A and B are shown apart, each in its own frame.
Chain A
Amino acid sequence: MYNILDVTDLTISIGGRKVVDNVGFSVPQGGVLALVGESGSGKTMTAMAILKLLPPAAKIEKGKIIFRGENILEKKERDMRGIRGRRIGMVFQEPFTALNPVMRASDQIAETLIAHGICKKQDLNARVNDLLGMVKLPIEVRGKYPHELSGGMRQRVMLAIALSCDPEFLILDEPTTALDVMLQKHILDTIKHIQRERRITTLFITHDLSVVNMLADNVCVMRNGLVVESGSRLDVLKSPQKKYTQHLISCIPVLGDKRRRLPVEI
């Protein structure tokens, strides 16, 4: 199958310290790869490198990020503006800080469409309504400001923005971490539905291996900048080979288990 994204030997350092170390993975067309790791594992840095949004202190030492046959790392900022938001949609963890507090939801969704010039003015309204429907938000949300929306609704607005330009690739960075389990399930169900229907290739970043099961085809476990283990979802979750992966699974409490303590050190 054709790979939409191929990351090879990616090494990023900050102040001489490697935060991403020889990382490599591929995402086939229409597939979902979960990048799993705890704080400091380098998962978000990897995603930021794909968008060329690394902080100024971060230096790419080596590696390639081939998106649709072209190396992202060789792209100019001008070209990246046509890629971010248009060909690659993004959803970040905190929908409260990611949305503009003084813009109505409909304007925020329309903004992306206008910026990329892919929707005629007279079609904007209809397109915004389509997108709200796609992420299962009622039409009344159009006129609301972010503070008037619940956390789950805000994250759906983020998702509508990410999907607005019909991207080929979606980066979801901890999209449900700030939400309760019920909302998490609803949002992930919506994402899964859209992802399957439109076959959007997706990179799903999370610290929680248990949510990986709800969305991913393949899993890549990272720790301290290194890829510890990767493989199909079933292989990694059901028969993890590496101690660290086993640990990440075993330290999550399971309903009905009688453990008095959780394992902490490995």
Chain B
Amino acid sequence: MIKLDNVKKYFRQNTMFGTAANIVKAVDGVSFSVDKGKTFGLVGESGCGKTTLSKLITGLIEPDSGSVKVSGDVDMVFQDPFSSLNPRMTIEEIIAEPLLVRGIKRSAALTKVAETLNMVKLGRRSVLKGYPHQFSGGERQRIAIARAIIRRPAVLILDEPVSSLDVSIQASILNLLKDIQEELALTYIFISHDLRVVEFMSDIIGVMKDGTLIEIASCDDIYSSPKHEYTRRLISAIPTI
């Protein structure tokens, strides 16, 4: 479904006066593949290149070298449901927009909106005419998910989708994402700095550091026998009760 082969993306970091450029190797030779209906979890610290990698998969940016192959449409859900939804649009408009811009008739789009809101458990009618500020963080993330799946994409990239939520809301969103994945046979790229959340969601986990995947393993292996020293550090940083 998704296949990355030795993908590289470097950025030039200029100083204020455009001199003495620094090269930032945001993604530096990453290869992995994900089968249909599976979840690839990507874990790493801030600045390790996770988000650049997700943009490469979406096609928002082009790789400098290497190849990114994705069969089917890709959509995304971002971390912050406060800034990712247009505050001046109603929920109905927000969710219908990806269909309308592709020339789908309004009536057909609205039917799909109602159907999709049901899938994210926000089926009550009052939701449609509401504005983002009227909803809680968890509800807003459900709205963002509805918008992301309205076109019925093949792949969904989830970039820290629960990082700004309370733990119990986080739990309900994670469960919902699993339900939707099963219902729509979606392939997920699930990105987070929190290995607990990544492990819960994923079939395979890639640990990213300084632009490279230093370890790719199944959930069981990464926890019981982490190969890389960095993975062990990541595990030991996790707060436990």
Contact = CB atoms under 8 A, between A and B. Distances in A.
B46 A150 contact: yes
A264 B166 contact: no
B193 A253 contact: no
Given A38-B167, A251-B168, A255-B235, A183 B178 contact: no
Contacts of A238: 241
B99 interface: no
Contact of A181 (B171, B172, B195): B195
Interface residues of A, number: 36
Given A151-B46, A181-B193, A247 B240 contact: no
A183 B45 contact: yes
Contacts of A150: 46-47
A181 B194 contact: yes
A255 B222 CA distance: 10
Interface in A86-111: none
B224 A180 contact: no
Which of B168, B171, B193 has its CB near the most chain A CB atoms (within 10 A)? B168
Given A182-B45, A210-B240, A262-B174, A254 B166 contact: no
Nearest to B46: A180
B194 to A, nearest CB: 6
A262 B137 contact: no
Contacts of A253: 171, 174, 196-197, 199-200
Which of B172, B195, B200, B224 has its CB near the most chain A CB atoms (within 10 A)? B200
A121 interface: no
B142 to A, nearest CB: 13
Contacts of B174: 253, 262
A214 B46 contact: no
B223 A256 contact: yes
Interface of B: 45-47, 136-137, 166-172, 174-175, 178, 193-197, 199-200, 223-224, 233-235, 237-241
19 contacts: A150-B47, A181-B195, A181-B237, A182-B233, A182-B237, A183-B46, A185-B237, A208-B239, A213-B239, A237-B241, A251-B167, A251-B171, A253-B171, A253-B196, A255-B195, A255-B238, A260-B178, A262-B172, A264-B175
